[in-house]
Amino acid sequence: MGQIITSLLCAVVLLVVPLGVVQVHIVMQVRSELADISLAAAKFVSNRGGLNQQDVKQAVRQFIEQELAGKGFRIAASEVTVEIDRLRAADPLLWSHEDQFRLLLGVPYPSISNLFQERQQITVARVGTINVMDYDL
């Protein structure tokens, strides 16, 4: 009886451990891709500025779609949540020189199995400063 239980436990371990390794690998890869995209998007906002909140958010969304098209690991652009807020602003509408912003990108937690569900969403936050003067816009 002990050998049967041991054999079943070994079979379960042989099935679950590779599944967990694959899950960890996919999560690490998605987190790495998201960090790369968020860095590029923050640099894009810093070098672009914008006329208002909607203009900046739409431009960032389009930029992220372009970045995702060139990535090896497929993350759907519709799954990416984008939040961008100004922390410090000189003008209420115009996103211009020395305005600080916070960019928050998130994707749903990729899962192969529900056994290893940790979080519902992977997020990356970046803080940056606009480098474009208002007359450049």
pLDDT of residue 77: 84
Instruction: Tell whether pTM > 0.75.
Output: yes
pLDDT of residue 116: 55
Whole-angstrom CA distances from 105 to 5, 19, 49, 71 are 46, 27, 18, 16
pLDDT of residue 128: 93
pLDDT of residue 82: 94
Q: How would you write the pLDDT of the chain (137 residues) with one tens digit per residue?
A: 778 888 877 777 777 766 667 777 788 888 988 999 999 999 999 999 888 889 999 999 999 999 988 877 778 888 899 999 999 988 888 888 889 999 999 998 877 656 556 557 899 999 999 988 877 65
Of 56, 35, 30, 53, residue with least CA distance to 126: 35
pLDDT of residue 9: 76
> Can you spell out the DSSP letters for 65-83?
HHHHHT-SS---GGG-EEE
100 touches 88 (CB < 8 A): yes
Per the structure, how many domains does the chain have?
Answer: 1
**Domain coverage including residue 113:** 2-136
What is the total residue count of the chain? 137
pLDDT of residue 17: 66
